[in-house]
Amino acid sequence: MQVRWALDLARVKYTEDAHAPGFHAFETLPATSGRCSATPVLVLRDGTATWDSTEILKRLAIMYSQQLGTLYPPGMGAEVEALEEYLDDVLGPNARQVCCCASATLHHPALTAACAVAILFHAP
């Protein structure tokens, strides 16, 4: 999602290929020469691929420094990157688990709440 936000912020025209979970790997693996199955993958016109949203954002920030200069304010790059990694690797997966859990327990609000608390507040 943050890659889309960055592309929009930079006013870059892009095409998004969306795929059902599982089927995405038929696109991501060839695009990355087998090095990454996960999304997002940014493929430039010359065929160059970048994967992992943090790496993609850093690349876009260099390519479109004028529009995206505020993503990594001078002196705060490491702090921003650490926050990105936390959101990508901890909060994002946990939030996805909460959504899956909620969809399975929709008719039992107390169970949904208990699952959400357990997932979001467990020690990483």
Ligand X SMILES: N[C@@H](CCC(=O)N[C@@H](CS)C(=O)NCC(=O)O)C(=O)O
The residues binding ligand X (CB under 6 A) are 24-25, 37-40, 52-53, 88-89
Report the nearest approach of ligand X to the CB of residue 24 (Å): 6
Q: Which is nearer to ligand X, 96 or 108 (CB)?
A: 96
Residue with smaller CB distance to ligand X, 28 or 68: 28
SS3 category, 17: coil
What 3-state class would DSSP assign to 42?
Answer: strand
Residue nearest to ligand X (CB): 38
Residue pair 31/47 in contact by the 8 Å Cβ criterion: no
Q: Measured from the CB atom, is 87 or 111 closer to ligand X? A: 87
Strand residues in the chain grouped as ranges (E) = 41-43, 49-51
What's the min distance (Å) between Cβ of 113 and ligand X?
24
Q: Please identify, using beta-carbon distances, which residue of 37 and 94 lies nearer to ligand X.
A: 37
Closest separation in Å from C-beta 20 to ligand X: 11
Q: State the minimum distance, in angstroms, from the CB of residue 110 to ligand X.
A: 28
Residue 51: Cβ within 10 Å count: 18
Tokens standing for 16? 């998004």
Phi–psi pair at 11, nearest 5 degrees: 55, 45
